[in-house]
Structure 1
């Protein structure tokens, strides 16, 4: 069957299984009387259709909304109109959940039509090929995948809604109409948002739900399968690791404190013991033989006490539990014909994977804060024994590297800062001490990574190491991996130079030896895109990876890149597995580490089934890229020069946009940017330096990308790409660009992900701005680049429509965009009314209306922001 036939078959199946069933259940849903106005569900289809027609005719949101009420609900006053719009929003929010549930319930049928990239697909490739099997076995011995859950403010349904979604998916699998009807009624009555902002601990608990109910089973299942197929039944090594940021990531989040870090670490410990205890109770029903009573009893006591009773003096009990399971296993082998030995092995594997910590809690802080803390130490007599405190900031980097003394002092800090002390400095020092405590109670892997955001020089890392030595750690027992995060275009350019200085520094060299000569480096997509535009960000990261791989290899150090990838292409997301499969030999790719955030968690890892599928694709990408390196991805000098030239053109175009006097004003006034802080789905502010006037550099990348996505313009995902391709065309390099797209997985993935971003844009919604006296010229500049990018990308790919080669994804996106179109229209209408209205009560109502539309638009995005 040809690729086009397979694509057509999958699209037909998608239409049958998802589109038709959604329309069927949606018609049932719209008849349910939930709210004050009983005919809301009946009116909604007319409202949706009216919005579609109005947008197609390029009418302004005000014209669309006002004409709807004139036609359908004449005679109601402004406040009642607002009330009706709120009711529409409440229905549409739940339509998004229904569509997600229908799509997820069809996942197994849809994925069976395409098992490329899965573990099953990998096994089919090696069937009967022993040489290939041996190569994969060898590769897996040094391969690892770390998935790190982060709490970014995109899609945080309350636990109650997540539970309904889970049950709804199961009911939809069997088309149990009565059950579906009941759950839709429950969904209609269940609140979707928090009345107050969550704390970092609340965010952690929301994400721990996925650890406990999804990852605990999915990772162990895949690890077992890999062991059976490629490890002769033995544990190859710990291929999978989980990381966790809520409660540890204090970069710019003033609400993350030492006590929240401690609470999250101990919650993770308690929850993993609850998972183990659940398994133990099932195990106890089967292991009922003589000779195991003592070991089973001891194991049960350990699990119960640690799962349900606070343990102030907890210990790392991983080896104790494994020892008891080994005793039970030996007894089964020797005395009971190895019956149920597979249950023991499965349980032991989970304990090996998750220990007493479940997921490693990463700590992250900005280098500027860490520099302030170090200077505080220099001015504290008991800490500093010889460094020039008053001139430290003025010293050159070379002088700092020579002078840092790495003196040890057990500085005791109180978690509640004394009057006059800087709380941030105090929290940093207390957290460093706490990391030692967490390792003692939960195991070394519980908290062993410190990430330095905005890392610009080698001294940023060495100064932090000295802070550890001031807070109770010793040089020989510094069981911490220090990880620089390079994220701006300029920082990426100098990353290799920074790391070479570290690799040559005697103290750091010794530390790396003790850590197994392994270095982890984090690269951030979000801020680099905000900093330099889509094409330049991707190219800068690619170049940085090549240079960092070469310099690290030179010093015989093993390198792992940790990619800060968000949901949408503008923040490094998109088809993530294709990104890793496209890495050539020039880039270290033995260890895949990436962040999972926002709705990417629920969309790609919301069920055991979807989680296994997406995790297997990442494993497949990491393994096959090494076994079948596509030599075309080893970009030659000519292709590198072509991409570099295009990236420069894109950067120039994007920087001109950033410097436009209306750039931040356009975002502030026409998008919900200023109101994002009122959305109670995150504990963190929308920008750093929250009290200061808005500066682009302080604006968090997620707020930046979210604002553009709410405008339905998705500028960070495409702006400058069209101009870059045009430059190649004008320079007579078009044929080379087309050939590059066909041959380079890296370049193809980058362009395809940009097309995904563009497919979620709809400039018709803001077309009325073309004639706006203040913003008309600026809007037209954005639209012209969109049109140029679309035309050039379609010509480059040889297609007639965006995402033509991904028919199912294209259809899914189109359905979601259609569902939320009324929300987008309402949002833009409410923003306009907010600017025009003097009445304070109405202003408050329109602000709330804007905020409520953001929820549904973001939740529908699944990789939107």
Structure 2
């Protein structure tokens, strides 16, 4: 029996229709928001009323009116998304009320109900929980076009809409809520949608912390409660206490790969801000707890053991008499006063310019956790178990989950920068110039790295040949030990090495860690405390990864370090660059193969490999429904460890509102648990027939995709027939669009590559080459080949996921609009040839997908998706056509004032299309 975490049936098929908003007869949430926006439009821009009613053409508008029109359409798309999010939440509640929690897809209850029915023992689940670690990682990739101030107002709209559903309001009260709702929409309309300045790293940090303040601090502890209640329901004779298995990682303020604005000083500031964010939330909850725990010893004797704990805290506070006098006889309040006093000193100590602390502080979160456990024990011994479990334990769990760091901040750098620093270290140590260092793949370079790693190092050494850039790289490594000691042992997560090409690249990172004195042993030869995580991105790198990791895991230093760090070697796999490199199908297959082979290598080495999935929001960058994406991973590849990036607009989609955040976290965790439990029951042997077919499909599709990429006119076509260069003007990220400033296709980051193809409605990154791959397979293998593909569609999770997502992407493509974008390319011969290639492959891909799936139309299996898209397409199409003209005018305009006017409209058009589709990069 297969355990599942998500219901795959389209939402439109669910036996539930969202009721009308209470008190408005047949008026729906969509109608309420539309009428509110329409009224605001009448007051501020009456000329746009026709636009909202579908009676106006934006192409005939003045530039000033066009800007407001585009903003208005973007707002309407955002409001529609709020309605859809709220409807999904109501649907889940309806199913839970009428059918039970175990019938709600994506929940622990569903997974454990099926586990119990399948005979999974409680001991197996206990073992799974013991080593389980799930860590979504927020990244600052420039794909979030909403400003924080707009996010805050949208959340208020969501909350007011939810309040209006309640039947308890009088007509007077309901009118007040409606007025508040209208005010928030009006504020959004009057707030600039665009970032006026290039985003700074500091702003990106604020953006990331916004989601913790709004939802994650409070909802993540609820995840553990949900897990325990589900286990209690389906394993009633067993006792479980969920560990802090689900925590968040983050790259914001630590990702320096291609971003010159992330310095070690910026990272230090980020770490301290993260720490203060969690500590202040703990302080707020502890203060609230102190107000409630007004238990007097006159009503209930204080347990002897707790009196001893209290005395120790009072004696250490330095102000015992005052604390006791403030709450005489209320020992639990006195205890919390001591805890708060110590926490305040910790917060003060970690300010940018701290005052000298006058009271003891917490050295790390473990001390605070210990104090809260003592409080729990005291209440339990006083026969107040319910208070301990319901009031204190949630606060303790919050501290366990977020510690004094909020997130585990990863550091990321690319191998080009680390190699530069290593060459300069070689020159400083050996005498000579960096250019004289041995070749990176030579035995001489490996011998030097190995020798340096084995030499005891008791002090920092002078490195005179280091450039400022390389000193910055070393300073980043040195920050690890400093911040772990000053803030929390889990403040820094791992070092991610982008563009990993060899074992030498990884050993080089180990050597930089040694130079920065972050080894566990003082000579620096035994154990590196900082996990070094190679990132394999391109198809070539993914293919090389198994041999690289096999060799790496045979090195004693690495083996010792990995065991000390937890026993798992983490490997990050990139979905975006592999897609850009080989196309959608080839990328997915190469990722699958690499993970399957790496899983085997980890097992053989006795050091399991855990994967960190670098997924983006769009299909082209690895985006897919959470449960299905996890389900399609190779058996055994999760190994109870799962990390995934949540990038840009995905973060606000998942975590902006509490109910959605709670569901998304549970969906991720339940999916991982289902995969782990199923892996224990499924054969690890691959279905060779399916694998052979995937290999053939991958090769054929990649060949056609590569043929397009290698067309001599493609770079110019792409640059001119899309808003590629104009995307940089959006100011939605702090880092450049290219790593090293070059103007080649290979150096272009995957995000603008995907973003621009989506804007011009070609969207080749999500389908190109797949039609040819399928046709070639059937042409070569004939009728048996077609039958095999149809069996794979039914029984191969990876293949089915690929075809499903391809069909959704094909539905978003519009070649008539794409043709209009193509007219921006001045090279007529190249333009016509490239567009003919795209046109032919699109028709073939649609035909072949339907032949394999047996469907009557593209994406027929997803009526809710089609309905949502069809609702938006008339506006998106109109904006797309207008964008073509805006690009033409912007690029030809010489008058600076008029150019700025056109630029504003152009950027809003980019925003509007991205919001309409629900994804940017």
Match of 1:300 among 321, 334, 340: 340
Structure 1 residue 724 corresponds to structure 2 residue 705: no
Q: Is the 8 A contact 1:410 1:471 kept in 2?
A: no
Q: Deviations over 1:632-655 (max 9, x none)?
A: 995422211111011001111111
Tell me the equivalent position of 2:419.
371
Q: Is the 8 A contact 2:608 2:639 kept in 1?
A: no
Tell me the equivalent position of 2:546.
496
Tell me the equivalent position of 1:222.
223
Structure 1 residue 758 corresponds to structure 2 residue 810: yes
- Deviation, 1:233, is 5.7
Distance 1:4 1:216, change over 3 A: closer
Tell me the equivalent position of 1:60.
none
- What is the distance in 2 between the residues matched to 1:770 and 1:828? 9
Distance 1:644 1:84, change over 3 A: same
Distance 1:457 1:791, change over 3 A: same
Q: Deviations over 1:781-806 (max 9, x none)?
A: 11221121112112211212332222
- What is the distance in 1 between the residues matched to 2:252 and 2:10? 41
Distance 1:706 1:409, change over 3 A: farther
Select between 428-437 and 824-833 the one with higher mean Cα deviation.
Answer: 824-833
Structure 1 residue 239 corresponds to structure 2 residue 245: yes
1:67-216 aligned at under 5 Å gives the runs: 68=60, 81-112=62-93, 113=95, 115-126=104-115, 131-175=120-164, 176-216=177-217
- Structure 2 counterpart SS, 1:13: coil
- Deviation, 1:129, is 7.1
Q: Is the 8 A contact 2:771 2:849 kept in 1?
A: yes
Q: Deviations over 1:412-460 (max 9, x none)?
A: 899xxx9x97442121111111111111122221113001000000011
Q: Deviations over 1:631-680 (max 9, x none)?
A: 59954222111110110011111111111122111221121111111111
1:674-713 aligned at under 5 Å gives the runs: 674-690=725-741, 692=742, 694-713=743-762
Select between 631-640 and 743-752 the one with higher mean Cα deviation.
Answer: 631-640
- Structure 1 counterpart SS, 2:728: helix
Q: Is the 8 A contact 2:342 2:362 kept in 1?
A: no
Distance 1:816 1:315, change over 3 A: farther
- What is the distance in 2 between the residues matched to 1:500 and 1:34? 67
- Structure 1 counterpart SS, 2:366: helix
- What is the distance in 2 between the residues matched to 1:372 and 1:185? 53
- Deviation, 1:811, is 2.0
Q: Deviations over 1:330-356 (max 9, x none)?
A: 221223533511111111111111111
- What is the distance in 1 between the residues matched to 2:818 and 2:19? 30
- What is the distance in 2 between the residues matched to 1:848 and 1:148? 33
- Structure 1 counterpart SS, 2:903: helix
- Structure 1 counterpart SS, 2:477: helix
Match of 1:849 among 874, 881, 905: 905
Tell me the equivalent position of 2:367.
320
- Structure 2 counterpart SS, 1:466: helix
Match of 2:14 among 10, 31, 36: 10
- Deviation, 1:133, is 4.6
Tell me the equivalent position of 2:277.
271
- What is the distance in 2 between the residues matched to 1:454 and 1:510? 24
Tell me the equivalent position of 1:648.
699
Match of 1:463 among 505, 508, 511: 508
- Structure 1 counterpart SS, 2:247: strand
Q: Is the 8 A contact 1:220 1:350 kept in 2?
A: yes
Select between 513-522 and 135-144 the one with higher mean Cα deviation.
Answer: 135-144
Match of 1:553 among 603, 608, 614: 603
Q: Which runs of 5+ in 1 are unaligned?
A: 52-64, 70-80
- What is the distance in 1 between the residues matched to 2:20 and 2:769? 38
Distance 1:27 1:516, change over 3 A: closer
Tell me the equivalent position of 2:795.
743
Tell me the equivalent position of 1:56.
none
Q: Which runs of 5+ in 2 are unaligned?
A: 1-6, 96-102, 165-176, 233-237, 296-329
Q: Is the 8 A contact 1:769 1:779 kept in 2?
A: no
Structure 1 residue 587 corresponds to structure 2 residue 588: no
- Structure 2 counterpart SS, 1:689: coil
Select between 593-602 and 785-794 the one with higher mean Cα deviation.
Answer: 785-794
Distance 1:332 1:632, change over 3 A: closer
1:533-544 aligned at under 5 Å gives the runs: 533-544=583-594
- Structure 1 counterpart SS, 2:428: coil
- Structure 1 counterpart SS, 2:261: coil
Match of 1:286 among 276, 283, 292: 292
1:562-573 aligned at under 5 Å gives the runs: 562-573=612-623
- Structure 1 counterpart SS, 2:533: strand
Q: TM-score, normalised by structure 2?
A: 0.84
Select between 432-441 and 183-192 the one with higher mean Cα deviation.
Answer: 183-192
- Deviation, 1:764, is 2.3
Tell me the equivalent position of 1:790.
846
Distance 1:393 1:530, change over 3 A: farther
Q: Deviations over 1:497-533 (max 9, x none)?
A: 1111111223222322332332000000001111111
1:58-73 aligned at under 5 Å gives the runs: 65=59, 68=60
Structure 1 residue 657 corresponds to structure 2 residue 705: no
- Structure 1 counterpart SS, 2:644: strand
- Structure 2 counterpart SS, 1:357: coil
Q: Deviations over 1:801-850 (max 9, x none)?
A: 33222222332233333443332222111112234545454334323322
Match of 1:823 among 863, 879, 884: 879
- Deviation, 1:598, is 1.2
Select between 762-771 and 138-147 the one with higher mean Cα deviation.
Answer: 762-771
Q: Is the 8 A contact 1:136 1:230 kept in 2?
A: no
Distance 1:173 1:836, change over 3 A: same
Q: Deviations over 1:243-263 (max 9, x none)?
A: 010110000011111111011
- What is the distance in 2 between the residues matched to 1:301 and 1:769? 63
Structure 1 residue 32 corresponds to structure 2 residue 40: yes
- Structure 2 counterpart SS, 1:240: coil
Tell me the equivalent position of 1:61.
none
Tell me the equivalent position of 2:723.
672
Tell me the equivalent position of 2:388.
341
Select between 641-650 and 773-782 the one with higher mean Cα deviation.
Answer: 773-782
Q: Deviations over 1:591-641 (max 9, x none)?
A: 111000111111122212112222222222222223335859954222111
Q: Deviations over 1:690-748 (max 9, x none)?
A: 2x3x1111111001000001011211110111111111121221110111110011111
- What is the distance in 2 between the residues matched to 1:267 and 1:4? 40
Distance 1:128 1:628, change over 3 A: closer
Q: Is the 8 A contact 2:480 2:518 kept in 1?
A: no
Match of 1:380 among 419, 424, 428: 428
- What is the distance in 2 between the residues matched to 1:448 and 1:24? 45
Q: Deviations over 1:296-350 (max 9, x none)?
A: 1121113334446644598643122122212222221223533511111111111
Tell me the equivalent position of 1:472.
517
Q: Is the 8 A contact 1:155 1:858 kept in 2?
A: no
Distance 1:305 1:130, change over 3 A: farther
- Structure 1 counterpart SS, 2:570: strand
Select between 839-848 and 140-149 the one with higher mean Cα deviation.
Answer: 839-848
Q: TM-score, normalised by structure 1?
A: 0.90
- What is the distance in 1 between the residues matched to 2:804 and 2:118? 33
Distance 1:365 1:443, change over 3 A: same
- What is the distance in 2 between the residues matched to 1:434 and 1:301? 28
